[in-house]
Structure 1
Amino acid sequence: MARTGYQLLGPSPWPISVAVSLLGLCATLLIFFSEGMSWVFWGSFFVSFNLFVFILFSWWSDVVKESTYLGEWSSYVVRTYVWGFRFFIISEVFFFGGLLGSFIFYGVGESSIHGVGFWPPRGIKPLVPWKMAFLNTAILVGSSGTVNWALKSVQAHNSLNFDMEVNKSDIKRFNSFGKKLVSGKLVSGTVDTYYYWKRAVLAFVITILLGVSFTFLQALEYYWASFSFGDGIYGSIFYLLTGFHGLHVIVGTIFLIVCLVRLIKFHFSYNHFYVGVLAAVWYWHFVDLVWVAVYGLVYIWGYWGYS
């Protein structure tokens, strides 16, 4: 049979396993609605969630092995993954667009009733946009620069041959970690590849720390807020919108951590596909742009009518 350039997938237990774990999570949600946080709920949640995490870790590990170690990916396969991730981000745009649209719809509807309607509703003290939210905005906007730095460093590291020989004068220019990479051999890499690799690692670490800081500050903001999810339409939309965005920040941070681990293991060396890093950077930029929209509409515009 002639090769088509596409990967031929073998039998895999992961798709049906993910379906079973998601079914368990849905059943857990129904148990919560009927019985609350009972021991049945926690037992079902613990088993289903841990099974879901284990399956995703195993499935994505297989994808990494297929692309990095087994060499089963071609440019056609990479293009398929790239376009698939682009469509995923487009679906996320519509998801957050619906949530932002609902906030605008109810805000305009209440504000248009002069003398009767108020947005935010009376009795709710919205969060001041010039304090914690402004700091979180600066953190995410700054992280977009560091994640771009990481991408450019990975691209430079990927374009340089890591297997070419180096001479003794080059070895002397390595620091202590670089000497460990050489390990007495003259075929471990060049100064340029290590230079860009080191900066990519540093950029990923900074971006991950910024993402963790954002999550921590948002948790503090929730703790200090004077309203809850059950305080009318304003509270429900606020926590639903900012909560889903916070979940995306956590997922994006995990995504970057995986890329950092793979970078440390030299998965993105000379002529190796770095589509995982590209997807992580796109996802992080999407999270940044969504937060700018949330900050402008929910925090600034939502606070505007408060007196």
Structure 2
Amino acid sequence: MARTGYQLLSPSPWPISAAAAVMGLCATLLIFCGEGVSWIFWGSLSVSFSLFIFVLCNWWSDVVKESTYLGEWSSYVVRTYAWGFRFFIISEAFFFAGLLGSFVFYGVGESSIHGVGFWPPRGIKPLVPWKMALLNTAILVGSSATANWALKFVQAHNTLNFDMEVKKSEIKRFSKSGKKLAGGTVDTYYYQDRAVVAFIVTIILGVSFTFLQALEYYWASFSFGDGIYGSTFYLLTGFHGLHVVIGTIF
């Protein structure tokens, strides 16, 4: 890396394993669309999701070791990871825009074979948006706020502990909000403790969101197979819920 500025990766089993796990999850979705909830569905879901979580834990563990403990990341590597994550966010935005676009397109056009001209289609009772959906939205916004607070506390702790060239203005800013010790020094564990509390609150809010969404699915009067309305609704909210679950775990 000293010659190129980039990290030369050793062979890793995680990319191909992640691809296999994603293929298994896609196959699980096809099984659900064709046969519904059955023992084949639960078996495929259990194996694929367990493999997916196992791969993520080990892959991200390797990334943390390489960057934090082995010191293999240069500024070039950090820059490429940052741009890669930006492109990932853009792809996520287009993914959800496509699902939302299909929902709106069929909402203003033909709704389904069984109820042309009606949205939602006849026989489907939609969920009330200003009840549990509104509560879940508030929980999600609150979890974003607590996650950002935790990030700020972690940055303050790291700045005061590890950045020897930090500007005096930064130290003064953190000192105003931090807890003072004898001699006027700042208690950096003040920020660490509050970061832990903010993370715990974020996790609780994420679990609450997932639980309420599961209740919403249980109480819904329509299923995935009820035309374009049911399929787009469950795909859109299901993938969004999956993002929340992964964020809560990791």
- For the superposition of Structure 1 and Structure 2, which TM-score range results when normalised by the shorter chain? 0.7 to 0.9
- Identity of paired residues, percent? 84
Q: Distance in 1 between matches of 2:225 and 2:246?
A: 26
Aligned length: 229
State which drifts further: 78-87 or 22-31.
22-31
Q: Which amino acid aligns with 1:240?
A: L
Name the CA shift for 1:101/1:22 in 2 (closer, same or farther; >3 Å). closer
Q: Distance in 1 between matches of 2:247 and 2:33?
A: 29
Q: Is the 8 A contact 1:162 1:193 kept in 2?
A: no
Q: Which amino acid aligns with 1:86?
A: R
State which drifts further: 39-48 or 8-17.
39-48
2:118 aligns with: 118
1:38: how far off?
Answer: 6.8
TM-score by length of 2: 0.78
Q: Is the 8 A contact 1:7 1:72 kept in 2?
A: yes
1:238 aligned to 2:233? yes
Q: Distance in 1 between matches of 2:203 and 2:21?
A: 29
1:133: how far off?
Answer: 0.8
What do the CA deviations read for 1:99-126 (whole angstroms, capped 9, x no partner)?
1001111111149xxxx72222222211
Q: Is the 8 A contact 2:154 2:191 kept in 1?
A: yes
1:23: how far off?
Answer: 5.1
Question: What pairs up with 1:139-154 in 2 under 5 angstroms?
Answer: 139-154=139-154
1:66: how far off?
Answer: 0.7
2:177 aligns with: none
TM-score by length of 1: 0.65
Q: Is the 8 A contact 2:181 2:187 kept in 1?
A: no
Question: What pairs up with 1:89-128 in 2 under 5 angstroms?
Answer: 89-110=89-110, 117-128=117-128
Name which structure has the greater RCO, CA cutoff 8 Å, separation 6+: 1
Q: Distance in 2 between matches of 1:194 and 1:155?
A: 12
1:191: how far off?
Answer: 4.5
Name the CA shift for 1:105/1:214 in 2 (closer, same or farther; >3 Å). same
1:194: how far off?
Answer: 0.7
Question: What pairs up with 1:275-290 in 2 under 5 angstroms?
Answer: none
Question: What pairs up with 1:268-307 in 2 under 5 angstroms?
Answer: none
1:249: how far off?
Answer: 1.1
Question: What pairs up with 1:1-307 in 2 under 5 angstroms?
Answer: 2-22=2-22, 46-110=46-110, 117-161=117-161, 191-255=186-250
What do the CA deviations read for 1:270-296 (whole angstroms, capped 9, x no partner)?
xxxxxxxxxxxxxxxxxxxxxxxxxxx
Q: Distance in 2 between matches of 1:31 and 1:136?
A: 29
Flag structure 2 segments of 5+ consecutive residues without an equivalent. Answer: 165-179
